């Protein structure tokens, strides 16, 4: 039975806006905003964006296709969440362009599948979590975008943590 809180059309609307949101927010910012992180083994906004690009290439639509083709008979190939570090990152402008183009291609591929509520209940096998539904996978795509938008906000806010002085106690992003 489909989850009444999930709407493919609503998820798609969110997914379509993430590249524009990040472009408006990050394009032409000084490098200090784009290269900051939260310490060792954490990601800067540029690295987060590279991760989003890799997800478009290797995760979201490839796994939709995998579920449609194999069901739960064949587990998904693992997704390397750090592959952007091996690929090497371009300028922020290049990464924003890559992300926008990749997301557009992904959404076109998603639309072409003409998924029905019955499709959303199809099951696949995740290498770590076991059996998952197509609906769960698509809902995760949207939540993943929001997680990384929040991460970028948190990382950027940390640059101001000392400068805000006593107001820090009211700024949840800094806590």
In a domain, 164, yes or no: yes
Mean pLDDT along residues 104-115: 98
* Confidence label for 4 from pLDDT (cuts 50, 70 and 90): low
In a domain, 2, yes or no: no
CATH classification of the domain holding 14:
1.20.120.450
Mean pLDDT along residues 82-110: 87
CA atoms within 13 A on the CB side of 72: 12
User: Which pLDDT score, from 0 to 100, does residue 77 have?
Assistant: 87
Work out how many domains the chain is built from and give that number.
Answer: 1
Q: Say which residue, 125 or 78, is predicted with more confidence.
A: 125
User: Which pLDDT score, from 0 to 100, does residue 90 have?
Assistant: 83
Does the pLDDT at position 81 exceed 80?
no
Does the pLDDT at position 162 exceed 90?
yes
DSSP for 78-112? PP-TTHHHHH----HHHHHHHHHHHHHHHHHHHHH
* Confidence label for 107 from pLDDT (cuts 50, 70 and 90): very high
In a domain, 71, yes or no: yes
Q: Say which residue, 54 or 21, is predicted with more confidence.
A: 21
Residue 21: give the domain boundaries: 8-174
Dihedral angle sign, alpha carbons of residues 169, 49, 112, 139:
negative
In a domain, 1, yes or no: no
């Amino acid at each position: 039975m489909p989850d009444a809180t999930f709407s493919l059309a609503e998820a798609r609307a969110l997914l379509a806006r993430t590249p524009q949101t990040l472009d408006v927010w990050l394009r032409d910012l000084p490098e200090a905003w784009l290269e900051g992180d939260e310490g060792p083994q954490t990601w800067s906004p540029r690295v987060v964006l590279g991760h989003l690009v890799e997800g478009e290439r290797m995760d979201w639509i490839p796994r939709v296709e995998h579920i449609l083709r194999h069901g739960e008979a064949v587990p998904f190939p693992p997704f390397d969440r750090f592959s952007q570090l091996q690929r090497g990152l371009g300028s922020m402008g290049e990464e924003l362009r890559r992300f926008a183009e990749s997301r557009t291609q992904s959404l076109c591929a998603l639309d072409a599948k003409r998924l029905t509520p019955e499709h959303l209940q199809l099951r696949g096998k995740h290498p770590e979590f076991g059996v998952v539904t197509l609906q769960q996978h698509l809902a995760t795509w949207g939540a993943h975008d929001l997680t990384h938008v929040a991460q970028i906000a948190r990382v950027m806010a940390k640059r101001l943590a000392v400068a805000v002085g006593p107001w820090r106690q009211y700024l949840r992003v800094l806590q």
